[in-house]
Amino acid sequence: MNNEKTKKCKYCKSEIPADARICPQCRKKVKGGKLKWIFLLLVILMIAGAASGGKKESSKGSRSAGSSGEKTTVTPITYLSVSVDDMVAELEDNALNASDHYKDTYLEITGKLSNIDSSGKYINLDPVNSDFSIYGVQCYLSDDAQRNAISNMKKGDTVTLKGQCTDVGEVLGYSLDIDEIE
């Protein structure tokens, strides 16, 4: 290996050309490992970014961004007070209007506890003035404090919840992510 730049193979320690990707002696790959690790790190960062981007903000207010010298202000959420009876009546009359009116809206709703999920992930509210209803509100619990509050209740209890309506459908009714249980 006359005027060529050389390096030592990290496996067999023989002199090989500096630009060699595979050692001619032991046939092991000697170059390109760093690029593989950089690519793997980028993939992990992209997955972590996508996962954290899908999480909802835990604060009970919306933030207004300002220039870099300004403080961030928290605007309190205003909840629209409504009964499950009114929501169900509106859904039965016109599902499109009900969706436009309630979807992505912060609500303070009152209804009759009709189902408590055994895994503690959700509860269902039905209209207070109805013994049987096709539609209702499926409400998703987000923490242990909410699970504890529900564990002290029973079916048929009237409950008031605050949260964001995430979905409206003419088949399953409403979905609500709970912020508070009153």
Regarding pTM above 0.85, the answer is no
Helix, strand, or coil here: 88? helix
Cα–Cα nearest to 179, from 134, 137, 151, 145: 145
pLDDT the model gives residue 36: 67
> In 17-143, which ranges are continuous DSSP H helix?
33-53, 84-93, 95-102
Residue 90 identity:
E
Tens of pLDDT, residue by residue over 63-87, are 444 555 667 788 889 999 998 888 8
pLDDT at 20: 83
- For the chain, which residues score pLDDT lower than 70? 1-3, 31-36, 53-70, 131-133
In three-state secondary structure terms, 148 is: helix
**Computed over its alpha carbons, how large is the radius of gyration of the chain?**
29
Average pLDDT of the chain? 82
pLDDT of residue 56: 47
For residue 163, the model assigns a pLDDT of 95
